[in-house]
Structure 1
Amino acid sequence: MVERSVLLKGLQHPFLVGLHFSFQTSHTLVFVLDYINGGELFYHLQREGAFPEFKPRYPPGDLNILLDSGGHVVLTDFGLCKEGMSVGGTMQTYCGTPEYLAPEVLLGHAYSGAVDWWGLGSVLYEMLHGLPPFYSRSKAEMFENILHAPLQLHRSVSQSARSLLQGLLERDCTKRLRGEQDLAELQGHTFFLSINWDDQLARKVPPLFIPNLSGPCDEKREKYFDPEFTLLPVPASLGLSDMLGDVANGAFPGFSYMPPAEVGVTEP
């Protein structure tokens, strides 16, 4: 239900996946989302090993970062979002992808939105180095590294990128890059000085990688996604009758969503 709410809030955002419908059957909850066919960012990263430093200057996001047919970043999968957070508010839920957990989460402390900036630093580090910071195949060792190991930066990393990563991956969350200005402090960092944020939001900045696709409906997505996903069996089709049955099933009241402009759609 939180994911549905977050998707509805971001309907018009240029870098968030859009929701067209949501409904439930007797066995399934269904989101009908934008078709994003330019690939998964970390699949591209896996094939390249690491990105040149100028590529991550495009604002990195969180996990599940996709590229659309024009090469622009699209974020998806908001199942772990937390709603209703006030400024200065804290949480205690232990959740997240192990490689990107902030130290305060691992320690079981109450944590604030500063954990998101640690996650951002982890993703940016991975884009520049090919692996997350403090990574180990052993989760126990990786957690120990997150808590205590020194941050190792490749010598090719520029001084501005080094400063940014050190600020975001600061273990003391009260000293972590964000301060009282939050996003503004990040945008003003020397690493991002070349970015015109208004042009970026308006999608006026040409992406450095443009997928070789004919358009937003091109189905040749297998070149940009791991076969582990593209070879999965396609679920059985669902008709409009399944969507209308949502009210009767009612296991998740209020889950259904149909935009006003599409209410008149009829089943062929």
Structure 2
Amino acid sequence: MKVMGKEHIKKRNEVKHIMAERNVLISNINHPFLVSLHYSFQTKDKLYFVLDYLNGGELFHHLQKERHFPEPRARFYAAEIGTALGYLHENNIIYRDLKPENLLLDRHGHVVLTDFGLCKENMNEKDTTDTFCGTPEYLAPEILQKRPYDRTVDWWCLGSVLYEMLIGLPPFYSKDRTQMYERILHMKLTIPISCSSACKNLIYGLLEKDNKRRTGFQRDFDEIKNHMFFASIDWEKLVNRQVKPPFVPKIKDEMDVSHIDKEFTSQQPNPGSLIPQFPYGTHIDQDFMGFSYVTRPE
């Protein structure tokens, strides 16, 4: 359950972001690699999302433990992530915040994309936007330059995540943010490992600084799924979850949180996240009109 304080949202001018997140979550129902919303409701002071329970851990957590992944494992994750992003684009949504922390594994080892707070709706293939948002390590050059950008920013992020899965760090990483931004804008990309030529070709294509030459600009996800790096992927089986994941988390039961970072499991519950003793009733807030939602049974 995700709990959010209304006043906090209003003070940060994030009402539109929350409502956009709610709308995107509803559109995700039954997609294999996107987290699903089961319920959303509100009380006088708070908003609540009831989401899929996923205890396979963040991709970031597993990457930190293992330093980097073998190429076949990275390819599998990149294929599932790309499928999720392609679906969002088909629904005229740009994700804008792809990073390992927003990618969870389910109990079977499949990737699930979460956290849609920075999504931009109503973006067809020719539309652009100019909001400066995202996570510093994964920002595309055009965002840093404060130029209008399109859905190809998601493919830049996919290239960054694929690189990180293979190397262990984002491609232009520096502890100094200013230096990192300079690298993203001007530094020539190098891949300091002996991965396959197909893999290198895809990473170079996704991390092309000129978005009009970037892999994915011409035909969006179709261009990526037909890249030689994914030649071994049966896309129909993949989207039907019939491809066996290369790694399956060892999970004893639903209460097993061993794959969730202790930084989170050791925290005390935030008092602000507690549900009031009598949470129900009519608490319609004009700013959040239409927020509540219940999944219809199949």
TM-score by length of 2: 0.82
The separation in 1 between residues aligned to 2:43 and 2:103, in whole angstroms, is 28
Partner of 2:279: 242
For 1:257, the aligned partner's letter is Y
Gaps of 5+ in 2: 1-18, 82-97
Q: 1:56 aligns with which of 71, 74, 88?
A: 74
Give the deviation of 1:186 after TM superposition.
0.4
Partner of 2:11: none
Q: 1:231 aligns with which of 251, 260, 266?
A: 266
Q: Which secondary structure state, in structure 2, belongs to the residue aligned with residue 174 of structure 1?
A: helix
C-alpha spacing 1:245/1:229, structure 2 compared with 1 (3 Å): farther
Q: Which secondary structure state, in structure 1, belongs to the residue aligned with residue 32 of structure 2?
A: coil
Of residues 206-215 and 63-72 in structure 1, the stretch that sits farther from structure 2 once superposed is: 206-215
Give the deviation of 1:187 after TM superposition.
0.5
Contact 1:71 1:210 in 2 (8 A): yes
Contact 1:246 1:256 in 2 (8 A): no
Q: 1:28 aligns with which of 46, 56, 69?
A: 46
Q: Over residues 164-210 of structure 1, what are the superposed CA-to-partner deviations in whole Å (9 max), with x where a residue is unaligned?
A: 00000000111000142211110111110000000000000111111
For 2:188, the aligned partner's letter is P
Partner of 2:119: 81
The separation in 2 between residues aligned to 1:207 and 1:127, in whole angstroms, is 15
Of residues 228-237 and 106-115 in structure 1, the stretch that sits farther from structure 2 once superposed is: 228-237
Partner of 2:140: 102
The separation in 2 between residues aligned to 1:251 and 1:155, in whole angstroms, is 51
Give the deviation of 1:163 after TM superposition.
0.2
Contact 2:37 2:295 in 1 (8 A): no
The separation in 2 between residues aligned to 1:153 and 1:124, in whole angstroms, is 11
For 2:279, the aligned partner's letter is D
Q: 1:169 aligns with which of 207, 212, 226?
A: 207
Give the deviation of 1:241 after TM superposition.
4.4
C-alpha spacing 1:145/1:242, structure 2 compared with 1 (3 Å): same
1:45 and 2:82 correspond: no
Partner of 1:185: 223
Q: Which secondary structure state, in structure 1, belongs to the residue aligned with residue 39 of structure 2?
A: strand
Q: 1:124 aligns with which of 156, 162, 165?
A: 162
For 2:153, the aligned partner's letter is V
Contact 2:167 2:193 in 1 (8 A): no
Q: 1:253 aligns with which of 289, 292, 295?
A: 289
Contact 2:211 2:217 in 1 (8 A): no
C-alpha spacing 1:206/1:87, structure 2 compared with 1 (3 Å): same
1:207 and 2:245 correspond: yes
Q: Over residues 139-186 of structure 1, what are the superposed CA-to-partner deviations in whole Å (9 max), with x where a residue is unaligned?
A: 000000000111120231211110000000000111000142211110
The separation in 2 between residues aligned to 1:84 and 1:6, in whole angstroms, is 11
Q: Over residues 9-28 of structure 1, what are the superposed CA-to-partner deviations in whole Å (9 max), with x where a residue is unaligned?
A: 00111111111111122322
Contact 1:39 1:224 in 2 (8 A): yes
TM-score by length of 1: 0.91
Aligned length: 258
Contact 1:24 1:30 in 2 (8 A): yes
Q: Over residues 200-229 of structure 1, what are the superposed CA-to-partner deviations in whole Å (9 max), with x where a residue is unaligned?
A: 0000011111111135xx2111x2121111
% same residue: 49
For 2:115, the aligned partner's letter is D
Structure having the larger proportion of residues in helix: 2
1:19 and 2:37 correspond: yes
For 2:196, the aligned partner's letter is S
Gaps of 5+ in 1: 263-268
CA RMSD of the aligned region, Å? Answer: 1.8
